[in-house]
């Protein structure tokens, strides 16, 4: 099944777009690859390539999205790319390659349906802006007994000071993939007990992790999602990760990161301001991703 209208791109045009995408992506991916070769770590910039499953080489590949046919000899390599289909121009007989939506939707049915549920739920819910990033603090609560998750990073307030911040606040994390990293002592301190099953009910646009996960949904729906949207989601996740770690209990001064001191009124105010800005960016991207997910031709059940 193909879109009723196909846009044919000559090779020089799509090559230019592919090169621009690669330049945009390698700016983030190449430093990570170089660090890996040297066995070096970066607590902020490695996250999108280690926590998430898409690797730099996959990110570098440019996909135009549905309804676009890539013409020219250079497009023939896509005959070996997953979820691409050869098509013939009805008037000129020219051959090109386009995304095979039917094959993609048939193979990734469960992922597409789950993405639809998660994206549709969060795009309509109000945001929670009272968490203050305490999920990262809960992950190192009682570190004297549990150790530190990022063992090479010192705690800005020390173990006792970090524990005191956790105990002085009500923790309101709604995101299971943050909650699952809590220390055992922190789990009962959370106002909610998120699970994978309740994720579809709890996902909300104020959550930094839910907004970072837009990148996950974007690459899971690739190549149906155009690469410009994937990169928009990636760059949002990159910015959020930086802010998330600035507000964390870790001392990142060696990496040039100034702390957002969420244990203070001024720090809380700064956190919420940035959180709301990210939520606005995320909702626009979430709506675009949802439009792609809803357009895919899922098998009838």
Amino acid 3: pLDDT: 63
Tell me the sheet residues that pair with 95. 88
Mean pLDDT of the chain: 95
Q: What is the DSSP string of 56-93?
A: HHHHHS----TTEEEESGGGGGGGGSTTEEEEE-TTT-
Q: How far apart are CA 204 and CA 119, in angstroms?
A: 9
Amino acid 147: pLDDT: 78
State the burial class of residue 126 (Cβ atoms within 10 Å of its Cβ: 0-12, 13-18, 19+).
exposed
Per the CB < 8 A criterion, the answer to whether 230 and 194 are in contact is no
Q: How far apart are CA 107 and CA 144, in angstroms?
A: 47
Q: What are 39-79's pLDDT values in tens digits?
A: 999 999 999 999 999 999 999 999 999 999 999 999 999 99
Amino acid 299: pLDDT: 83
Per the CB < 8 A criterion, the answer to whether 140 and 183 are in contact is yes
Amino acid 2: pLDDT: 61
- Contacts with 251 (C-beta within 8 Å, 6 or more apart), sequence order: 153, 154, 155, 156, 259
Amino acid 146: pLDDT: 82
Question: Averaged over 130-135, what is the pLDDT?
Answer: 95
Q: How far apart are CA 136 and CA 139, in angstroms?
A: 5
DSSP 3-state percent helix, strand, coil across the chain (nearest 5): 55, 5, 40
Amino acid 5: pLDDT: 82
Question: Averaged over 90-111, what is the pLDDT?
Answer: 95
Question: Averaged over 182-206, what is the pLDDT?
Answer: 95
Amino acid 87: pLDDT: 96
Amino acid 4: pLDDT: 62
Q: How far apart are CA 66 and CA 43, in angstroms?
A: 36
Question: Averaged over 261-289, what is the pLDDT?
Answer: 97
Amino acid 301: pLDDT: 65
* Element spanning 99, H or E: strand 95-99
Tell me the sheet residues that pair with 293. none
For the chain, give every domain's residue range.
Answer: 7-295
Q: How far apart are CA 159 and CA 164, in angstroms?
A: 9
Query: 235 vs 298, which has greater pLDDT?
Result: 235
């Amino acid at each position: 099944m193909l879109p009723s209208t196909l846009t044919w791109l000559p090779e020089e045009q799509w090559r230019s777009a592919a090169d621009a995408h690669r330049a945009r992506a390698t700016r983030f991916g190449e430093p990570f690859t170089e660090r890996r070769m040297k066995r070096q770590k970066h607590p902020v910039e490695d996250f999108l390539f280690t926590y998430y499953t898409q690797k730099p080489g996959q990110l570098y590949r440019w996909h135009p999205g549905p309804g676009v046919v890539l013409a020219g000899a250079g497009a023939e390599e896509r005959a070996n790319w997953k979820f691409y289909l050869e098509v013939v121009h009805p008037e000129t007989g020219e051959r090109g390659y386009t995304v095979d939506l039917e094959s993609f939707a048939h193979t990734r049915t469960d992922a597409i349906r789950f993405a639809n549920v998660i994206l549709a739920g969060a795009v309509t819910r109000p945001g929670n802006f009272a968490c203050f990033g305490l999920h990262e603090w809960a992950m190192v609560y009682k570190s004297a007994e549990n150790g530190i998750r990022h063992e090479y990073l010192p705690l800005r307030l020390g173990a006792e000071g970090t524990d005191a911040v956790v105990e002085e606040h009500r923790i309101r994390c709604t995101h299971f993939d943050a909650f699952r990293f809590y220390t055992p002592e922190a789990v009962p301190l959370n106002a909610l007990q998120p699970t994978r099953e309740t994720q579809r009910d709890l996902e909300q646009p104020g959550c930094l992790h839910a907004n970072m996960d837009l990148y996950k949904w974007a690459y899971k729906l690739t190549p149906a999602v155009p690469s410009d949207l994937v990169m928009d989601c990636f760059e949002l996740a990159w910015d959020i990760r930086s802010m998330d770690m600035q507000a964390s209990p870790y001392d990142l001064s060696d990496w040039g990161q100034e702390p957002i001191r969420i244990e203070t009124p001024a720090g809380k105010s700064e956190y919420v301001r940035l959180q709301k800005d990210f939520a606005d960016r995320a909702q626009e991207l979430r709506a675009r991703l949802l439009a792609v997910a809803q357009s895919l031709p899922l098998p009838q059940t």
